[in-house]
Every structure is written in C-alpha cells, then in structure tokens.
Amino acid sequence: MMEHHWSRREFLRFMGRTMGATALTYPGLVFPVARGSSAMADFHPITPTSADEVVLADGLEYHILVSWMDRINGAGERFGFNNDYTAFFSIGGNPHDGLLWVNHEEVFSGYFLSPDDPQEKTMEHIEQEVLEVGGSIIRINKRDGHWRLVQDDQYNRRINASTRIPIISEQPVHGAREAVGTLGNCAGGFTPWKTVLTCEENFNLFLGDVTFVSGTRVHEKDSYLGWERYLDHPPEHYGWVVEIDPFTGAAKKLTALGRFAHEGATVTQAKDGRPVVYMSDDKIDECIYKFVAAEPGSLARGTLYVAATDTGRWLPLDVVRDPRLKEVFGSQTELLVRTREAAKLVGGSPQDRPEDIEIDPQSGAVLIALTKHPERPFGSILKLAEKDNDPSAEEFTASTFLAGGHESGFACPDNLVFDPQGNLWICTDIYDLNQPPYHPFKNNGLFYLPMSGRHAGIPRQVASAPSGAELTGPTFSPDGRSLFLSVQHPGENSTSPDTPSSHWPDGGDSLPRPSVIYVSGPLLDELTAV
C-alpha cells in the first residue's frame, strides 16, 4: 500500500518553506539548502544555437524518458501530445521511485494529427485530439543511474478531454456540477497533501469563449481547433485549476481559484497554515492573482485576490464584500466564471503576459515571469515581496527582479524552477524564433541563475531546444541529480507536415515527437545536487 498523505512531520516541514527555514520541499521529501557553493564558478555556458537538437553545456547529458504516442498501460492508453508541466511524487519516500505527472497542453501543431483548418476536420479527428490533451500519470524509477518509464504499472493512467470531472462550486456552472474533460493544461503546481494542480490555459482555442453583454451570454464559435463544431461543451467548464490525486486519478475543478488562462498555480502556506496559491493569467494586459484558502488542507473555499502592482495591494474579488461587484454579478460563482471582468472592475493591474511563478526558498519573494509585451518584447521577471513576508498579507512591494534582453542574454522568460541548492532556472518561450528582434537568441533555451555568490544575478545558458521547440515543465528529482524537462512542440514553426523544421528526437525524415527528457551529469551534480 503506497502512502500518499503527508505525515505531520512532513507537513510541518512544508510549512517551514514560508517561515524562514532554510529548506526546500518536494512532495514527500525535504532537503537542507546547501549555501555558498562556488563550484559553478567556472562552468562554460553554451552560446545560442539553431541546431535541431537538445544542446547542453559540457558536463550535462540527456536521455529520453517518454515520448508522444508511447504506450503507458495495458489498456493501450498512450502518452499525449505537447507535454508541458511535470511534478514528481516519490513513493514511500524513495527519491528514485515515484509518479510523474505530465501535462499535455494542446495540439497546436495540429497538422501532425489532423488538418490545420478546423473546417476540414471530421469527428474522428476531434476524437483523436481529445485523447491527446489533459495529462499523464506514469510510474518512473531510477536503476543503474538511469530513469525509465515503468510501462504498464498499476498507477499509469491518462486524464484527457473526455474524463468526467466534478466542478467544485457554490452554484452549478452553466447548469452543471460536472465537466467533460480537461484541456489546455499548461503549467501547474502541487499541494502539501500530494495532489497536483493542472492549469487550463488557452481553453478558448478548443471550444471558443463566452462573453456576457448586458447580461446576455454569447458563445463565440470560431475557435482555432474547432471542437465546438462537434462537441457541445460550454466554455464555462474550462479555464479552471484542476486538482488531481496522482495515486488515484481522482480529479476536481476548483472554481474558487478563478477562471482565466491559468498558467500555473504555485502553493505555499500562510503563517497560520492555510494554503496560499499564486497564479497568473497568460494574456497580454491580464493579471496576477492570489488565493488564500479558508482552511488548511483544502482549496475548495477561500478568498481570491487580484494584484494591483501600482499600489502594492491585493484586491479581494468577493461579491459579498464589494458592492461594485454585487451590482454586476448575481453570485460568487458567476463572478468566478467571469474573473477577468471582476479583476478589471476593482482595479487589478494589467501585466506583460504573466507566466510561471516561483517562490524564492531563501527570501520568500514571489518571482513572476512576464514573458513579453509588444512594447517590452524581451520580457522580465517581476518580484513581489509580501508585507512581513506573510503570504496571506494584503500588501506587498513590487519591483523588477531581472530584465530580459541583449545584456542578460535571454528573452521571453516562461517556466521557472528553484533547484535544491536554491538557485533559479529559467526556460524561455520565444515564439518568433530566429526573427527580429529575437534572432540573436536563436532557439529557445534554459538558463541558470545563481541567487548567491559572486555570479549572483547573472543568467547563463545551459541548454538549447530543438527547432521550433520550447523547454518547459522543469522539475528536479528530489536528490537534485536529475532535471526532468519537457521538450514541447518541436517543429511547431514548420510550414508543412511534408517539410517539418524538426526531426527531433528520432532524426532522419521522421516527424518530431514532443518528449520528456531527463538531464544529468557532473555539472548538474555540482550545481544542484544535495
């Protein structure tokens, strides 16, 4: 019997993360942070490259863990498309054996699966696409120094866009308490009680979206993928944070955390033990949010705030507390379905496409990747410092932590992760690869940013992605000796399936396959192992 609830001791250690303790936590495991290491001082970063390969700094190597289409269980379920966020849940406290949750975000490179033009798609095309998104739960373990997928393990399962998922809300959402499937699963987070939070981001690309004009609901049926031509699923059932127990597959949509293009959901704890979740809405001029749960151990109820970075205040989105909101929304559920409108109404600050969020384990600062804006094309990382370092505070100070550009050597920061030594790793997501003004940066990359020592604050590139790809979902193994990394959408910039811009990872004339890799080697041991 696999234990998957935190012991009291583990739970208290998780709390230490926001109480100034020098500790980093993973579900089920805690490590002291090794400080002051200067071993990284002399490593040589790579230079930007357009190579159709995962190019790594000397001292690093990579291996493929699992790829699109790989069979994962005896029922014949397969690993989905465009793998993104990953989270590792150790089994029995063993750092070399556990479950890896993997998001499958979208089928943007649609012509690898079905026609690019939604008008040309049949129901069969849509049925296949439905299976490609959502997430995978796979058992992985490390033997003889190498990680491998345990094919056909009892835990291996898919959650996809046909899985029935309860909606946790005060009122029914568009008349229902259950949604069909999850989709647009971008980044995410994990809770102290060993569940994963998978975030539904660009749901409008699948089914369109709804607008409410003078109380009238209008469903815009012109989505990129055209699922609404065959599937009668209301857009209100998507755009949520979905909580999943990786050990049972039990899933639920958490409406209290709001509905928007959810990038990720980074969980910490308030001084009184209540979970606090930081989130962002990845759209130009949309906002940063925070959810403070009403009680420990659950995200079903609590207060949703939007950040006003101009005044340093978290503004509650509560239909009972705020008459301005009461005037527009008939209930809190209605407000949550239309979170963006509520955020703008109270004065939430527009941001430069906020993406991933991580909390500095040393300082407690909240770091938010602002990937780009037409007027600030290289993006930046924003730093929020909560008043009294209390995640449940209603006041904070905001400042730029690091600006992208030619001087710093990176552009369009997206996914972030702190390693077990407390240093920051930054994945980039340049869409217009190798085109002005991004051409000097070449392919997307992974950068290492020391938080202390004489190289503090200077990013250095350690990896480069294959053509058209983005490196996403970075997760360190609990011992810091392996970095799980998604290679997402290789070949996305192809102009035709007959001439893919990438043949990674199989080479030759093959079509590219999104895959999860793990990076290891002596350099990673120096930089991140504990």
- Using CB under 6 A as the binding rule, whether residue 243 contacts ligand FEO is answered as no
- Count interface residues toward Ca ion (CB under 5 A): 3
- Using CB under 6 A as the binding rule, whether residue 15 contacts ligand FEO is answered as no
201 binds, among ligand FEO, Ca ion, none (CB under 5 to 8 A by kind): ligand FEO
Report helix, strand or coil for 339: helix
Nearest Cα neighbor of 505 from 472, 462, 469 is: 469
281 binds, among ligand FEO, Ca ion, none (CB under 5 to 8 A by kind): none
- Using CB under 5 A as the binding rule, whether residue 105 contacts Ca ion is answered as no
Nearer to Ca ion, 234 or 491 (CB): 491
With b for 16 or more beta-carbon neighbours within 10 A and e for fewer, the 353-382 pattern comes to bbbbbbbbbbebbbbbbbbbbeeebbbbbb
DSSP 56: E
Report helix, strand or coil for 145: coil
Nearer to ligand FEO, 199 or 384 (CB): 199
- Using CB under 5 A as the binding rule, whether residue 358 contacts Ca ion is answered as no
Q: Minimum distance between the CB of residue 187 and Ca ion, rounded to whole angstroms?
A: 5
Distance CA 392, CA 191 (A): 16
Nearer to ligand FEO, 186 or 463 (CB): 186
* Under 8 Å between Cβ of 190 and 197: yes
- Using CB under 6 A as the binding rule, whether residue 105 contacts ligand FEO is answered as yes
Question: Which residues are registered as beta bridge partners of 455?
Answer: none
DSSP string of 436-484? TTSGGG-S-EEEEE-SSSTTTT--EEEEEPPTT-EEEEEEE-TTSS-EE
Nearest Cα neighbor of 463 from 492, 443, 478 is: 443
Q: Minimum distance between the CB of residue 105 and ligand FEO, rounded to whole angstroms?
A: 6
Binding segment for Ca ion (CB under 5 A), chosen from 158-166, 272-280, 393-401, 414-422, is: 414-422
Distance CA 69, CA 513 (A): 8
Binding segment for Ca ion (CB under 5 A), chosen from 21-29, 273-281, 303-311, 422-430, is: 422-430
Centroid of chain to Cα 346: 27
Q: Which of 129, 132, 200, 355 binds Ca ion (CB under 5 A)?
A: 355
- Please give the residues from 317 up to 346 whose contact with Ca ion meets the rule CB under 5 A: none
Q: Which of 209, 236, 281, 282 binds ligand FEO (CB under 6 A)?
A: 282
Q: Minimum distance between the CB of residue 470 and Ca ion, rounded to whole angstroms?
A: 6
Q: Minimum distance between the CB of residue 502 and ligand FEO, rounded to whole angstroms?
A: 19
- Using CB under 6 A as the binding rule, whether residue 281 contacts ligand FEO is answered as no
Q: Minimum distance between the CB of residue 103 and ligand FEO, rounded to whole angstroms?
A: 9
Q: Minimum distance between the CB of residue 414 and Ca ion, rounded to whole angstroms?
A: 4
Percentages helix, strand, coil for the chain (3-state, rounded to 5) are: 15, 40, 50
Indicate the burial class of 496 (C-beta count within 10 angstroms; 0-12, 13-18, 19 or more).
exposed
Task: Note the residues at the interface with ligand FEO (CB under 6 A).
Answer: 105, 186, 201, 263, 282, 355
Task: Note the residues at the interface with Ca ion (CB under 5 A).
Answer: 355, 414, 429
